[in-house]
A and B are shown apart, each in its own frame.
Chain A
Amino acid sequence: MIQIAEKLIIQLDAVTRVYKVGVEHIHALDGVDLRIGENEYVAIMGPSGSGKSTLMNCLGCLDRATSGSYELDGQDTTKLSDAALAHVRNERIGFVFQSFELLGKLSALKNVEMPLIYSRNGWWARRKRAKDVLQRVGLAGRIKHRPNQLSGGEKQRVAIARALVCNPSILLADEPTGNLDSKTSEEILELFDQLHREGQTIILVTHEEHVANHAERIIKMKDGKICSDVSTGRTARKEASAENRSTEETT
């Protein structure tokens, strides 16, 4: 059974999402209940059309549930205005996409700074914060480079830095290794592991088993429903990492 953390970040209750295509109603999500606690590392799997992308969009506040309720950080998001949802996305959610979605005309630093433009930060604080995050993902030396001067792995690291720059409650990654070779994929997944050890809550959408195995918990979806929800037995929780750190210090 899944151990529920002390603090809940995500609480979905009977969430449905119905699309109208002509006269047909498609139930992309069909009564999903989901609880994700702080600092969990969850992978969502499922074949295409299973509703995992829709779930992702709903979790990321890009889409609204047709019915049911979604509480993020204890705040009900179902009744928020578009502008308020944009604010929630800005402050609480970090997106990582399969195709990176970096703006080609801006440097790595400017790309990472971009979300901060839409929140209340001064120029200096913004720059400092973006530099810190780029350092955290291991790109301190490449902040002036444009995306076309970076490798695929580096691009994804910039994208991850951009997702982290507003200090989000959850990091949502949609097939983050889909466009990368296996070696680079491993590096990116290690970065995710590291972020998780540092206390970040991560939700990962993937269809690859080995990617999902990095998570502590795997949720499988089928026909808009959650069909399995199991723990992988990996424990890389805060306590563990804290112990690791203390042992490192002693050595």
Chain B
Amino acid sequence: MRALINAPLAFLRLFYQSVYLALSQIWANKMRSFLTTIGIVIGVASVTAVIAALTGLKAQVLTQFETIGTNTIFVGPRRPKTGPMRHASWWTIRFLPEHFDGILENCPSVGLFSRLGSVGSHTARFGENSVENVNITGIEAAYHEIQNRPVILGREFSVIDNMQKNQVCLIDPKLQTELRLDRDCIGQAIRIGHQTFVIAGVIERRPELNFGQDAEDYYEVFIPFRTLYKLGEPGIWAFAASKSTEMTEEAQAEMKFFLRRTRGIRPNEPDTFRIDSVKSFLTSFNEVALMVTLVAGGVVGISLLVGGVGIMNIMLVSVSERTREIGLRKAVGAKNSAILTQFLIEAVVLCFFGGLVGLGLGQCLTLIISGINPVLEKTYIPVWAVGLAFGFAGSVGIFFGLFPAVKAARLDPIEALRHE
């Protein structure tokens, strides 16, 4: 019974002693230890930085989608890759407003639906001031419920606005400033093209993540969908929301069936439109993120391998330098297993030390990355990445420390004590 209690205690003592010895060894050979662990340092620093950057990117993308809502479905025209329509012009496969008539009645999983239209960019004027390249988007009332973009001043569009083709608009705050409109600009009129629009409200600016687009000079004006025709023939797409996130796929299938019928696509022909959900965007984003992680992981793995060989080398040096010590320890009763443990722990401590320095370096890299690129503002090292880095460092220590430790454990005490 006593032996049962004492055996793990004896190991703990040996463990503590080994860690203490290892730390004093590292301290005594500061320069050597640092150079040895540089491979581990770089490996751990790069793995944490890559993971942090990906985490930041993901967080940013998720925020973007949060404003859209995870049950949002996007519908737009798309040229098929096969079939007779594969060379069709965009004009041929464009959506018409009536394609969507009755969609809510025929698709029970779809809760909300809004047509959207765009007539490209126009110049907006208010008095003497004008802003070029303003994106004009036509929306229906349900858009406000599908997209999480609150109207911060004034009112949302109503069904009436659309039915009566009211000449009202929602502007983004940046345009409000650029056109030098009043703080409370509701009721003031701006000119777009040759039409006058009364400002009904100010809508929150969309989050700043648009790859390839300069978000700085991006201005938006929303007008009722049916009013849009006064400015020209719009390109049409649609937003829908399923009744719940779980029903998204069902909703997509129902809409596909419905739209094939209204667009008159024959049974064997491919779709001339696409129906994407945020869920599927997220899935493909996650796939890309995973690929990047794996590639980075491979690079890091090689760096850790090189670092591990360095550890092995220095441990072999340590074993040969301390041959007499090993001999003495054996003479006073250290079992082979105790010697093995001591040197293995020393290698692991060395690697953990490298892991710690690498983590610090990774944190610096992360700060630099988030400073340089506003897209990666939310970059941080998640806790699991810290665990992963230390796990890796520890495994490298055990794997590459094993050979020198076994070598030390197998030394003959008499020979070892005679060693110069």
Is B361 part of the contact surface with A, judged by Cβ < 8 Å? Answer: no
B330: A residues at CB distance < 8 A: 62, 86, 89
B338: A residues at CB distance < 8 A: 118
Pair A115/B333 contact, Cβ less than 8 Å: yes
Residue of B330, B331, B332 contacting most chain A CB atoms (<10 Å): B332
Q: How large is the interface on B (under 10, 10 to 19, 20 to 34, 35 or more residues)?
A: 20 to 34
Is A79 part of the contact surface with B, judged by Cβ < 8 Å? Answer: no
**CA–CA, A120 to B12, complex, Å?**
11
A75 to chain B, nearest CB (A): 15
**CA–CA, A173 to B335, complex, Å?**
22
Which of A57, A63, A89 is B333 in contact with, Cβ under 8 Å? A89
Pair B328/A103 contact, Cβ less than 8 Å: yes
Which of B6, B10, B324, B333 is A101 in contact with, Cβ under 8 Å? B324
A60 to chain B, nearest CB (A): 7
Residue of A86, A89, A97 contacting most chain B CB atoms (<10 Å): A86
Pair A118/B331 contact, Cβ less than 8 Å: no
Which of B28, B324, B333, B413 is A118 in contact with, Cβ under 8 Å? B333
List CB contacts (< 8 Å) of A49-96 with chain B: 57, 60, 62-63, 82-83, 86-87, 89-91, 95
A103 to chain B, nearest CB (A): 6
Is A162 part of the contact surface with B, judged by Cβ < 8 Å? Answer: yes
Is A166 part of the contact surface with B, judged by Cβ < 8 Å? Answer: yes
B297 to chain A, nearest CB (A): 39
Pair A83/B336 contact, Cβ less than 8 Å: yes
Which of B9, B17, B327, B335 is A83 in contact with, Cβ under 8 Å? B335
A179 to chain B, nearest CB (A): 15
Pair A114/B329 contact, Cβ less than 8 Å: yes
Which of A60, A63, A86 is B334 in contact with, Cβ under 8 Å? A86
Is A25 part of the contact surface with B, judged by Cβ < 8 Å? Answer: no
Residue of B10, B14, B324, B335 contacting most chain A CB atoms (<10 Å): B335
**CA–CA, A149 to B328, complex, Å?**
21
B333: A residues at CB distance < 8 A: 86-87, 89-91, 115, 118-119, 166
**CA–CA, A60 to B330, complex, Å?**
11
**CA–CA, A63 to B330, complex, Å?**
12
**A117-B13 contact given A62-B331, A103-B325, A103-B328, CB 8 Å threshold:** yes
Is B417 part of the contact surface with A, judged by Cβ < 8 Å? Answer: yes
Pair A118/B325 contact, Cβ less than 8 Å: no
**CA–CA, A122 to B331, complex, Å?**
21
Return the chain B residue nearest A87 by Cβ. B333
Pair A105/B24 contact, Cβ less than 8 Å: yes
Pair B332/A62 contact, Cβ less than 8 Å: no
Pair B332/A115 contact, Cβ less than 8 Å: yes
Pair B335/A87 contact, Cβ less than 8 Å: yes
**CA–CA, A95 to B9, complex, Å?**
26
**A63-B336 contact given A101-B328, A105-B24, A117-B17, CB 8 Å threshold:** no
A90: B residues at CB distance < 8 A: 332-334
Return the chain A residue nearest B6 by Cβ. A120
Pair A118/B332 contact, Cβ less than 8 Å: yes
List CB contacts (< 8 Å) of A116-140 with chain B: 117-120, 122-123
Interface string of B288-315 (1 = CB under 8 A from A): 0000000000000000000000000000
Residue of A83, A87, A117 contacting most chain B CB atoms (<10 Å): A117
Return the chain B residue nearest A120 by Cβ. B6
Pair A117/B331 contact, Cβ less than 8 Å: no
Is B148 part of the contact surface with A, judged by Cβ < 8 Å? Answer: no
List CB contacts (< 8 Å) of B166-214 with chain A: none
Pair B14/A117 contact, Cβ less than 8 Å: yes
**CA–CA, A123 to B13, complex, Å?**
8
A91: B residues at CB distance < 8 A: 333
**CA–CA, A89 to B328, complex, Å?**
11
B323 to chain A, nearest CB (A): 12
**A120-B10 contact given A89-B332, A95-B332, CB 8 Å threshold:** yes
Pair B331/A60 contact, Cβ less than 8 Å: yes
Is B123 part of the contact surface with A, judged by Cβ < 8 Å? Answer: no
B328: A residues at CB distance < 8 A: 97, 101, 103
**A83-B325 contact given A60-B331, A101-B417, CB 8 Å threshold:** no
Pair B414/A114 contact, Cβ less than 8 Å: no
Which of A62, A122, A123 is B414 in contact with, Cβ under 8 Å? A62
Pair A95/B336 contact, Cβ less than 8 Å: no
Which of B13, B17, B24, B336 is A82 in contact with, Cβ under 8 Å? B336
Is B67 part of the contact surface with A, judged by Cβ < 8 Å? Answer: no
A114: B residues at CB distance < 8 A: 329, 332
A122: B residues at CB distance < 8 A: 9
B337: A residues at CB distance < 8 A: 83
B352 to chain A, nearest CB (A): 20
Pair B28/A105 contact, Cβ less than 8 Å: yes
**A86-B13 contact given A101-B324, A101-B417, A105-B28, CB 8 Å threshold:** no
Return the chain A residue nearest B325 by Cβ. A103
**CA–CA, A118 to B11, complex, Å?**
9
**CA–CA, A114 to B9, complex, Å?**
16
**A118-B334 contact given A62-B413, A101-B328, A105-B24, CB 8 Å threshold:** yes
B414: A residues at CB distance < 8 A: 57, 62-63
**CA–CA, A101 to B419, complex, Å?**
12
Return the chain B residue nearest A53 by Cβ. B414
B324: A residues at CB distance < 8 A: 101
Beyond A87-B335, A101-B327, A120-B9, list 6 extra A-B contacts (CB 8 Å).
Answer: A62-B331, A89-B332, A90-B334, A114-B329, A117-B17, A118-B332
Listed in ascending order, the chain B residues whose CB lies under 8 Å from chain A are 6, 9-10, 13-14, 17, 24, 28, 324-325, 327-338, 413-414, 417
Can you report 16 A-B residue pairs in the complex whose CB atoms are below 8 A from each other? A57-B414, A87-B335, A89-B330, A89-B331, A89-B332, A91-B333, A101-B328, A103-B328, A114-B332, A115-B332, A115-B333, A117-B17, A118-B14, A118-B333, A122-B9, A166-B333
- The 10 tightest CB contacts between A and B, nearest first, are A90-B333, A115-B332, A86-B335, A118-B333, A89-B333, A101-B328, A120-B6, A83-B335, A118-B334, A62-B413
